[in-house]
């Protein structure tokens, strides 16, 4: 009997080992090279860490790893003895640099006896740690101890390095203010997926978020507005006596703390001061900087811009005046302090969506155009941008702006961030300017990610598959001018961190893979498999994400007097079930197999997707009247 028990135990151990070594590996972004081995490493309480005790960077990186391990497992991983050969996780910098992996690359080798992460630079070690954590079971992201039978790491040999040096996420803290601690949380989440650039959008019509000691009203006045909740852009105008209590700003010490926190995680922070448009908060603080005399208040979300099919115009002047020397004196003070606070080599000056209709009426602008021989208002903005570039360069920094800075003539040394598709970036690259790609049709993660019937309302959608199709190098463009790419998170409709997470993930997974992994390694179906595994990790970490990829894409057309509904899904292997009778469908309802005609008297369409026997997406209810509107628009 004892022999049978031993035989069974041996069989179980072998089966368990095979199961562990054949498990699917789900790393985001996909590494350059990954070779699976028929082995595994078991992390336990006796595992030791080998890291150069004289190198503060290596020690800090090892500390990130051991800190997370302790939170999730309870294991306090001690320092390995010099002679230790087994049950050791090693972090080391290459004595002879490996030119193939560059500054941010790493190699990771997992065997039965240990784990070795090696890199040329500490940044590479840090990214190797992110991959190692993704190789561990999902419970490793827990903030409290999880009791598991074993913590195994599959045997692999990985060589990895980024495709682009600029891998960014933009965080708009102007429309809605997020605290210093929340920005740190944002940094912690982004570095898990090897982002290295945090673009902070610090100023806009709805708030000025950085202390400028030489211009104190920017935060005394510009950082505060009336608190409004609902759908941003549709609020009623605030009354004169309503308290302006919503807002906040970062002090110099706050910024220094954030810069150091980011640097410890190999993230640069790009500050943006958005001018000459989007400047209501600055004009509210210093009205003399406007071309249009008047009293201004920080916008609280009430409508003040009119968008049309052919463009836009302002109902209230929210611009700085390019013809006013005081504007450049104020901006010199702003950029002096910004340059001192942020060590990153670039400063972003915005330049986007500048409504020029009030400039048309300004005598000062007319005189400027005559004096400087400016043909149109685009050249007026270009005049402004070129003067701002000189200010920024005088602080020892390079200037970057949104692609509108191309209009009227590009400043001599400016870098361009292309957001209105890829056209502006391609044009700037052909002019041999540096470019960062962030096209709104792929990387604007503030936009809806599914059908408007279920998503918080924004003016358009960018689904996960569109984000995954992001290619930073436009066709026919010399890649050497493309610094990289980023996803942009505008926060007009984002009031809190939970909804922020919902908007960022999983689309930021897709952009991360587009800027890190080789283009030829991208595979949509395999990406979805890995995303689903990371959803499970987010469940453990209690990070919110959007399930929109599981929900149908609706296409409605007219079929005589009736409507015909066509449905599809981004993700393979899903079944769609529907009802027209106001009841709630499940997998015993009609399954969608081909376009269906909506009954004449139906009021609502309800749909839900299943993966096998389990619901995948949320139940969606769309009024037939809404579908008829969509069909009418297609005419």
pLDDT of 579-611, one tens digit each? 999 999 999 999 999 999 999 999 999 999 999
Q: Which residues pair with 513 in a beta bridge?
A: none
Q: Which secondary structure element, helix H or strand E, spans residue 577, and what is its range?
A: strand 575-579
Q: Of the ranges 326-330, 445-449, 468-472, 558-562, which one carries the lowest mean pLDDT score?
A: 558-562
On the question of pLDDT at 627 being above 50, the answer is: yes
In 3D space, the residue among 276, 273, 305 whose CA is nearest the CA of residue 291 turns out to be: 276
Among candidate residues 176, 278, 348, 433, the one labeled active-site is 278
DSSP state of 448: B
pLDDT classification of 309: cutoffs 50, 70, 90: confident
**Which segments within 514-574 are labelled E, that is strand?**
553-559, 562-568
Q: How far is CA 88 from the centre of its chain?
A: 35
Structure tokens at 465: 């598959």
Among candidate residues 104, 160, 204, 455, the one labeled active-site is 204
DSSP state of 214: T
Q: What domains does the chain contain, in order, with CATH numbers?
A: 2-160 (3.30.379.10), 168-544 (3.20.20.80), 551-633 (2.60.40)
On the question of pLDDT at 263 being above 60, the answer is: yes
42's torsion region: left (phi>0), alpha (psi -120 to 50) or beta?
beta
| Residue 278 annotated among the catalytic residues of the structure | yes
How many other CB atoms are found less than 10 A from the CB of residue 258?
22
pLDDT tens digit sequence for 314-365: 999 999 999 999 999 999 999 999 999 999 999 999 999 999 999 999 999 9
Task: Report whether 463 contacts 445 (CB < 8 A).
Answer: no
Instruction: Determine the average pLDDT of the residues in 542-553.
Output: 98
On the question of pLDDT at 1 being above 70, the answer is: no
Mean pLDDT of the residues in the chain: 95
How far apart CA 635 and CA 633 sit, in angstroms, is 5
On the question of pLDDT at 626 being above 60, the answer is: yes
Structure tokens at 357: 């209709």
Structure tokens at 199: 């673009």
Task: Report whether 400 contacts 346 (CB < 8 A).
Answer: yes
Task: Report whether 174 contacts 208 (CB < 8 A).
Answer: yes
Among candidate residues 353, 379, 492, 533, the one labeled active-site is 353
pLDDT classification of 6: cutoffs 50, 70, 90: very low
Dmax over CA atoms of the chain, in Å, equals 103
pLDDT at residue number 386:
98
Q: Which secondary structure element, helix H or strand E, spans residue 628, and what is its range?
A: helix 624-633
Q: How far is CA 608 from the centre of its chain?
A: 28
Lay out the sheet containing 151-160: strands in order across: 33-43, 151-160, 106-110, 114-119, 88-93, 48-51, 78-79
Structure tokens at 631: 């069909």
How far apart CA 575 and CA 580 sit, in angstroms, is 17
3-state class (DSSP) for residue 412: coil
Task: Report whether 148 contacts 74 (CB < 8 A).
Answer: no
| Residue 393 annotated among the catalytic residues of the structure | no
Task: Report whether 87 contacts 115 (CB < 8 A).
Answer: no
Share of the chain above pLDDT 90, in %: 94
Instruction: Determine the average pLDDT of the residues in 77-88.
Output: 92
Helices and strands, number each (H, E), in the chain: 18, 28
How far apart CA 602 and CA 623 sit, in angstroms, is 9
pTM equals: 0.95
Task: Report whether 28 contacts 509 (CB < 8 A).
Answer: yes
Task: Report whether 390 contacts 411 (CB < 8 A).
Answer: no
Whose tokens are 């050249």? That residue is 379
DSSP state of 589: S
How far apart CA 417 and CA 425 sit, in angstroms, is 7
In 3D space, the residue among 245, 31, 232, 281 whose CA is nearest the CA of residue 132 turns out to be: 31
pLDDT at residue number 90:
97
| Residue 204 annotated among the catalytic residues of the structure | yes
On the question of pLDDT at 2 being above 50, the answer is: no
pLDDT classification of 21: cutoffs 50, 70, 90: very low
How far apart CA 64 and CA 539 sit, in angstroms, is 21
pLDDT at residue number 23:
58
Share of the chain above pLDDT 70, in %: 96
Strands 415-418 and 435-437: parallel
Strands 88-93 and 114-119: parallel
């Amino acid at each position: 009997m004892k022999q049978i028990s031993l035989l069974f135990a041996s069989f179980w151990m072998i089966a368990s080992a095979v199961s562990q070594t054949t498990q699917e590996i789900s790393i985001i972004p996909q590494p350059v090279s990954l070779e699976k081995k028929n082995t595994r490493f078991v992390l336990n309480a006796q595992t030791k860490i080998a890291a150069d005790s004289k190198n503060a960077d290596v020690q800090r990186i090892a500390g990130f790893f051991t800190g997370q391990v302790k939170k999730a497992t309870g294991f306090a991983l001690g320092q390995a003895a010099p002679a230790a050969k087994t049950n050791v996780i090693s972090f080391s910098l290459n004595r002879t640099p490996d030119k193939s992996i560059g500054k941010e690359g790493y190699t990771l080798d997992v065997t039965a006896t240990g784990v070795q992460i090696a890199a040329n630079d500490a940044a590479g070690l840090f990214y190797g740690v992110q991959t190692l954590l993704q190789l561990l079971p999902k419970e490793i992201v827990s903030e409290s101890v999880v009791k598991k039978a074993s913590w195994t790491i599959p045997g692999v040999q990985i060589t990895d390095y980024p495709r682009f040096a600029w891998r960014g996420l933009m965080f708009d803290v102007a429309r809605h203010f997020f605290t210093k601690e929340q920005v740190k949380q944002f940094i912690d989440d982004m570095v898990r997926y090897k982002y290295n650039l945090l673009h902070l959008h610090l100023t806009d019509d709805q708030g000025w978020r950085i202390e400028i000691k030489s211009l104190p009203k920017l935060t005394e006045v510009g950082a505060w507005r009336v608190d409004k909740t609902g759908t941003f852009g549709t609020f009623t105008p605030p009354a004169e006596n309503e308290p302006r209590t919503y807002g906040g700003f970062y002090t110099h010490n706050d910024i220094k703390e954030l810069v150091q926190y980011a640097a410890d995680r190999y993230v640069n922070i790009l500050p943006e001061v958005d001018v000459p448009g989007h400047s209501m908060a600055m004009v509210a603080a210093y009205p003399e900087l406007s071309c249009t005399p008047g009293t201004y208040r920080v916008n609280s979300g009430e409508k003040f811009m009119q968008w049309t099919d052919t463009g836009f115009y302002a109902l209230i002047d929210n611009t700085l005046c390019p013809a006013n020397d005081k504007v450049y004196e104020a901006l010199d003070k702003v950029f002096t302090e910004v340059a001192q606070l942020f060590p990153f080599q670039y400063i972003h000056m915005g330049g986007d969506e500048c409504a020029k209709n009030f400039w048309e009426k300004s005598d000062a602008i007319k005189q400027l155009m005559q004096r400087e021989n400016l043909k149109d208002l685009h050249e007026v903005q270009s005049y402004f941008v070129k003067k701002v570039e000189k200010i920024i360069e005088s602080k020892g920094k390079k200037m970057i702006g949104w692609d509108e800075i191309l209009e009227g003539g590009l400043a001599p040394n400016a870098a361009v961030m292309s957001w209105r598709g890829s056209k502006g970036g391609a044009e700037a690259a052909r002019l041999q300017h540096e470019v960062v790609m962030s096209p709104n049709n792929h990387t604007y993660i503030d936009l809806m990610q599914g059908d408007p019937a279920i998503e918080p309302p924004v003016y358009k959608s960018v689904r996960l598959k569109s984000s995954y199709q992001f290619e930073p190098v436009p066709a026919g463009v010399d890649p050497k001018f493309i610094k990289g790419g980023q996803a942009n998170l505008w926060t007009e409709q984002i009031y809190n961190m939970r909804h922020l997470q919902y908007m960022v993930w999983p689309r930021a997974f897709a952009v991360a893979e587009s800027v890190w992994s080789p283009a030829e390694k991208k595979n949509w179906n395999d990406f979805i498999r890995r995303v689903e595994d990371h959803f499970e990790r987010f469940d453990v970490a209690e990070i919110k994400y959007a399930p929109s990829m599981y929900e149908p894409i609706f296409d409605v057309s007219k079929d005589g007097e009736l409507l015909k509904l066509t449905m599809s899904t981004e993700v393979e292997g899903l079944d769609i079930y529907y009802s027209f009778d106001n009841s709630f469908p499940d997998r015993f309802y009609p399954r969608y197999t081909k376009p269906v005609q909506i009954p004449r008297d139906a009021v609502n369409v309800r749909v839900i997707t299943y993966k096998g026997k389990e619901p995948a997406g949320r139940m969606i209810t769309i009024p037939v009247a809404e579908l008829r509107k969509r069909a009418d628009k297609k005419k």
